[in-house]
Each structure stands twice: as C-alpha cells, then as structure tokens.
Structure 1
Amino acid sequence: MSTEIEVRPAVVFDDVRALVGPKRDDASVCWCLSYRIPSKINNAMRGQERGRFVAELLEQGPLGVLAYRDDVPVGWAAVAPRADTTFARNRKIPRVDDLPVWSVWCIRVRPGHRGQGISHALIQGAVAFARDNGAPALEAYPLDNGDAKVDQTMAYAGLRANFEAAGFRWAADTTSVLSGHPRVLLRHDLAQP
C-alpha cells in the first residue's frame, strides 16, 4: 500500500458513501447531513432516503473533500459556505463578523487508516478547496481536548491541535460541548497561504 495521500473534491457517490454512508441500506446513519440541512428535514429522513438525498446534492457539486490512498477513499471532510449550513443560525457557535466564511465541520478517517496523517491531509485539502471556491476564510469548530482522549465517534469535529497545525487560529470561544470537551471557533484566513 502506498503512503501517498491525494485529496480531491467529494463528487463520487460511492466514495462518499464508503466514508459516511451505512453498512446496511435500511440504516438511518448521518451521511454527514446533520449540519448541512435543517434539523426537521434531517430527522424526518430514514434509510435509503438519506442516500438518495446525498446523491441529489452531489449533482449540484462537491460536498467537501475525500482523501484517497491508491484510489481507495480513506478519509472525508465536510466543507461548505457557513451560510449554507445550520451553523449560520447556531446559537452555541457564534459568528465572528460578517465575512462570508466557509465551514469545515466533519473529519472522518476509515478504521485501519487512522494515525497515518490522513486527517492532516484532509484539513489541508479543505483549506485548498475553500480557497479554490473563493472563500475569504475557513472556520472549524473542533474539540479543545488538550491531552485528553476523545471517543472516536465524537472526534468527527476534529481536534484543535490538528487545525492549529494547519494554520487555523483561535477566533472565539463557543458554548458548544461534544463528548465532554468544549469546542472552539478557529479560523484560517485564506488570503494567506
């Protein structure tokens, strides 16, 4: 297996499904829709309806980025304009200013590929994707876990240290907490490399 990781826009349905879809067709798993669409719509969809909805979204364009190793999808990052997500109205994660920022809110690496730098590549890929699409800045809302262990299920928000290593800087505290860890608002100015 190659150690090279390539990050590309998430446009292939089967590859997106491999990272955020269910193992069983009738399962009502996230599909990374929780922050992308209003809660009422998200909570109403069940089973295969969720996958069909994602397929329709993909027809409009990428939903983020995927990391590949040897053409196999091994990682996912959800990236979109904040105004197009539920973060636009989220009371726990504040708006810093009126800049039309983008958000990266989910980092997922397939089991068997963790601890190999894929999340770092995904964050860099999210930065490049947002920049290429004209975003002036990219926000993240990771866990501020310090040295504490984080449950893998709740680590989807990413870890503060990983985002800071990619050039993100503190912009605000939040009142959001996941798995006992506070989340912070970090921002990467995309006018800067």
Structure 2
Amino acid sequence: MTHDEVTVAAAGGARWEDVSAVMGTRGDPASCWCQWFKLRRSEWDAASRQEKSALLHEQLDETDRGVLAYVGGAPVGWAAVEPFSAYPALTRSPITRRRDGDPADPWAATCFVVRLEFRGRGIARALLAGAIGHARDHGAEVLEGYPVDPQVRPSLSSAERYHGTVGLFRAAGFEEVRRPSATRAIMRLRLR
C-alpha cells in the first residue's frame, strides 16, 4: 500500500481511538461528535463536548454504524451512516422530514469529517463508497444523503459542507429526489 492509498473500515467501539483522532480537539467535529442529529435541541445545548464524545463512544460500542478512512494506517476521516430512525432530529427537520412516497427507514449518510491536512485527496469519496458498502452489508435497501450544493452557493465554508456535496453524491450514483432549499438536496441510492 502506498502512503496515498485510502482504505475504509467499519468504526465499531474497538476503533474508538481512531474516531477520537479524526474528531480532534478543536473545531466543529470536536464539539459535535455526530450528535447533532441524535439529540433534541435542548439536550444538544445542555451537553458538553465530553458528554457528546461519551455518547458517540457508547453508540459505537453498541454498533458499528460509521466508517473510518485510513491513509498509510493513520485515521484521516469519518462518515456517520446508519438507519434514518437512529437520527431523531432528521424526522423533525423541514429538510429531511419524511414525505409521502419516501422510504420509511432508509439508511442515511449524515456527516463527513476529514482531517484538515488530508482534505482535497479523495477522502470524502472513499468514505462515501465505504458508507455505501457498509449500509449494503447491513441489509439496507436505500441509502440517502442530505448534501449541500456549492454550485449554488460557492461561499459555503468547509464547516457547512459536513453533509457532503451534491457533486460527491452524484458521482457515487445517487439521484436527486428533491430540493428542500436552494442549497440542500435529498439524494438517494437504491442498494437492492
């Protein structure tokens, strides 16, 4: 394996140190720990960084619902992927709320984190490919994403791109099923 080769693996509790390395100690990932879609707003506001970290650790001990990317054996990225029903905030959001004809409980790829020094090297593409395989391996029939569209708003910061981008999902074969807002899309991939 060359140092630029990206591998992806399920992120169960045994890989907690790698998840922690990707989330880091500063910035949005270190303050969120992929709990934004898991907690009620009041719970989110009340929870400390340490409490959110502990929640993700507990969730990963129970299940391997996420994937990690590695370059040269070093953890460089994370993607959260699990059933829609595992994300209570998705059912309340006007962006992701279920509509008639939507699959009841598709899997959802909600968050991407790539360590700063590894951005622009295809890590997000590898993470999405890993999320697709992971969802398929766990019996998912459909995988959804809720990406942003930097073509519509080029000024989107890297922090605002944690959902992934429309181009990323489109390149992986996802189809846009609707636009809840100018910059956000619901994209879906049939796995079975």
For normalisation by structure 1, the TM-score amounts to 0.87
**Alignment-mate amino acid for residue 108 of structure 2:** S
Output the aligned Cα RMSD: 2.1
What is aligned with 1:168? 174
C-alpha contact (below 8 Å) 2:23/2:30 kept by paired residues: no
CA distance in 2, matches of 1:30, 1:155: 14
C-alpha contact (below 8 Å) 2:84/2:90 kept by paired residues: yes
In structure 2, which of residues 122, 125, 135 is the aligned counterpart of residue 120 of structure 1? 125
Specify the SS of the correspondent of 1:29: helix
Percent identity over paired residues: 34
Structure 2 residues not aligned, in runs of 5+: none
Q: Deviations over 1:66-116 (max 9, x none)?
A: 101122110111111011102123223242523420111111111111111
Q: Post-superposition shift, 1:163?
A: 0.6
**Alignment-mate amino acid for residue 125 of structure 2:** H
Specify the SS of the correspondent of 2:179: strand
CA distance in 2, matches of 1:46, 1:18: 18
**Alignment-mate amino acid for residue 14 of structure 1:** E
Is 1:159 the equivalent of 2:165? yes
Q: Post-superposition shift, 1:162?
A: 0.8
What is aligned with 1:77? 79
The 5 A counterparts of 1:1-193 are 2-11=3-12, 12-23=15-26, 29-85=31-87, 86-96=89-99, 97-146=102-151, 148-175=154-181, 182-191=183-192
CA distance in 1, matches of 2:189, 2:104: 12
**Comparing 89-98 and 11-20, the one that deviates more:** 89-98
C-alpha contact (below 8 Å) 1:21/1:51 kept by paired residues: no
**Alignment-mate amino acid for residue 118 of structure 1:** I
Runs of 4+ in 1 over 4 A off after TM superposition: none
**Alignment-mate amino acid for residue 38 of structure 2:** R
Q: Post-superposition shift, 1:146?
A: 1.3
**Alignment-mate amino acid for residue 170 of structure 1:** E
**Alignment-mate amino acid for residue 168 of structure 2:** N
Q: Post-superposition shift, 1:45?
A: 1.1
